Amino acid sequence: MERSFQLWLYSCFLIPVLGILPEPKNVRMNSVNLKNILQWEPPDFYKENVTYTAQYISDRTFDKCKNIILTSCDFSDISKYGNYILRVRAEFEDDQSDWVNITFCPLEDTTIGPPEVLVESLTGSLHLHFSCPKVENEPDMWTLKDYYYSWTYNVQYWENGTNDKLEKNSIYDSEVLTDLNPQTVYCLQVQGFITDKNKSGEWSQPICVQTTDNVFGTAFPQHFISLASTFQ
């Protein structure tokens, strides 16, 4: 306890005497669907007028955020391809901390969010329509499929109240689940999956929908069903 106090006291005197500014803490990249936000926490012995500069390095060094008071910097407009060194430092008057570096590869490191899912219950089957997550700062509302060419939708579905899950994969933006029990509630979730990278996205929230009767059920007029039975 006494030693910790001595170290703390020593540090308090060391900063003003030698002009050493501590580094930002917990530097990390929060990247979802290629929206890339570098985040950090203020350094120890934080002062209200501390500012920060954040940069990225590829073939040369570029300032992305300079002399900011925020503890985050948006790197979403950098190229999605290649590897980068991102770095941030704290600044106070004429003092500067050391840089804190992290490496970042957008297509490898971003988290793939869940797709949007629309479900229609028609003639005893469930018709699914998917919307791939969009990418910000890109023209014409580009989606992740424009960057991940082996994009696939993974679907898992099950009867409500059971644990037996079935699976289906689709490379298209729509899919039909057939061979379902009529008048039964089914639940389903969908995720994006990048085949050539073996990279899985987050699952969508479960959607539960009740199936209708199939095409040979009560959707037909009663007189047609009676007439058909006479030929059995």
Which domain CATH number covers 132?
2.60.40.10
The 10s digit of each residue's pLDDT in 109-137 is 999 999 999 999 998 899 999 999 999 77
Is the residue at 161 inside a domain? yes
What pLDDT, on the 0 to 100 scale, is given for residue 229? 32
- β-bridge mates for residue 13, sequence order: none
pTM, entire model: 0.77
Rounded Cα–Cα distance for residues 195 and 213 (Å):
36
pLDDT tops 60 at residue 232:
no
Q: Provide the number of structural domains found in the chain.
A: 2
CB distance 81 to 94 below 8 Å: no
- Whether residue 25 is found in the same domain as residue 101: yes
Within 8 A by CB and 6+ apart from 208, the residues are: 160, 185, 186, 187, 188
Is the residue at 222 inside a domain? no
- Whether residue 70 is found in the same domain as residue 138: no
- Whether residue 95 is found in the same domain as residue 26: yes
Is the residue at 149 inside a domain? yes
CB distance 11 to 45 below 8 Å: yes
What pLDDT, on the 0 to 100 scale, is given for residue 15? 43
Work out the pLDDT band at 79, boundaries 50, 70, 90.
very high
Choose among 16, 1, 31, 4: nearest CA to 199.
31
- Whether residue 52 is found in the same domain as residue 124: no
CB distance 189 to 204 below 8 Å: yes
* DSSP of 154-214: EEEEEETT----EEEEESSSEEEE-SPPTT-EEEEEEEEEEGGGTEE-PPPPPEEEE----
Provide the residue type at 171 as one letter. Answer: I
SS3 labels along 9-62 = HHHHHHHHHHCCCCCCEEEEEEEECCEEEEEEECCCCCCCCCEEEEEEECCCEE
- Whether residue 105 is found in the same domain as residue 138: no
CB-based burial, 143-152: b 16+ in 10 Å, e otherwise: bbbebbeebb
CB distance 50 to 42 below 8 Å: yes
- Whether residue 151 is found in the same domain as residue 85: no
Is the residue at 39 inside a domain? yes
CB distance 180 to 126 below 8 Å: yes
- Whether residue 21 is found in the same domain as residue 71: yes
- Whether residue 138 is found in the same domain as residue 161: yes
Residue holding tokens 């900011």?
Answer: 68
- Whether residue 56 is found in the same domain as residue 125: no
What pLDDT, on the 0 to 100 scale, is given for residue 160? 95
What pLDDT, on the 0 to 100 scale, is given for residue 86? 97
Is the residue at 3 inside a domain? no
Work out the pLDDT band at 138, boundaries 50, 70, 90.
confident
CB distance 188 to 167 below 8 Å: no
Is the residue at 164 inside a domain? yes
- Whether residue 93 is found in the same domain as residue 143: no
- Whether residue 59 is found in the same domain as residue 91: yes
Mean per-residue pLDDT over the chain, rounded: 85
Is the residue at 152 inside a domain? yes
Mean pLDDT score, 45-71: 89
What pLDDT, on the 0 to 100 scale, is given for residue 219? 34
What pLDDT, on the 0 to 100 scale, is given for residue 87? 97
- Whether residue 57 is found in the same domain as residue 127: no
Mean pLDDT score, 136-146: 83
The 10s digit of each residue's pLDDT in 22-46 is 999 999 999 999 999 999 999 987 6
Which residue has better confidence, 226 or 107? 107
Is the residue at 216 inside a domain? no
What pLDDT, on the 0 to 100 scale, is given for residue 216? 46
Which residues span the domain enclosing 81?
A: 17-109
